[in-house]
Amino acid sequence: MSLDIETPDPPELSAVDPNEYEDAEVAGGEYRREELSAFLREGAWEEAFTEWAADSNLDESDWRIVEDLELVSRFDFFWDSFADRVGYHAPGIPEDWKEREYHADLDSWGSVSAINAGLTELGQVACDVLKEEYIDWESEYEAPDDLPDFDA
């Protein structure tokens, strides 16, 4: 399946400590958001979005809900130097969406699940694109000298 839509603007990255998110645990405190934000604006976001949309299971009505709720703007990306990776927090629709009347066109758990899963996939694709094609800095982690040599 493919989602044929215009690429939204990349998210503005926040100064939130990633450890405050339920879905992230990050060691260190240098998150390099300014550099990641620059990479997103310089093409990483468009590249990731295009790749994601080509295989997305979301339909256009679900995407309109994402746009109406401005969910893309709530993505966060950060550098995790300990794991030598780009981490992310994907926005989503809360479990109590029905009670809160979160969106008028949101009427099924299927749509909620599709949107949440789709945004999670988009976040991962963006992380992969950033790491593989934009980031060239070295992790500050150095292995101890007393590790066994497994190459022998």
Task: Give the integer Cα–Cα distance in Å for 59 and 118.
Answer: 10
Mean per-residue pLDDT, 84-113: 91
Query: What mean pLDDT do residues 65-93 have?
Result: 91
For residue range 22-60, what is the model confidence (pLDDT) as tens digits? 666 666 667 888 999 999 999 999 999 999 999 999 999
Report, as an integer, the average pLDDT of 125-139: 88
Evaluate if residue 108 carries a pLDDT over 70. Answer: yes
- The whole-angstrom separation of Cα 85 and Cα 93 is 26
Burial 102-117 (b: 16+ CB within 10 A, else e): ebeebeeeebbebbbe
Residue-range domain boundaries for the chain: 22-134
Mean pLDDT, the chain, rounded, equals 86
Task: State the Cα–Cα distance between residues 118 and 126, nearest whole angstrom.
Answer: 12
- Examine the pLDDT at 62 and tell me if it is beyond 80: yes
Q: Residue 75 — pLDDT band, cuts 50, 70, 90?
A: very high
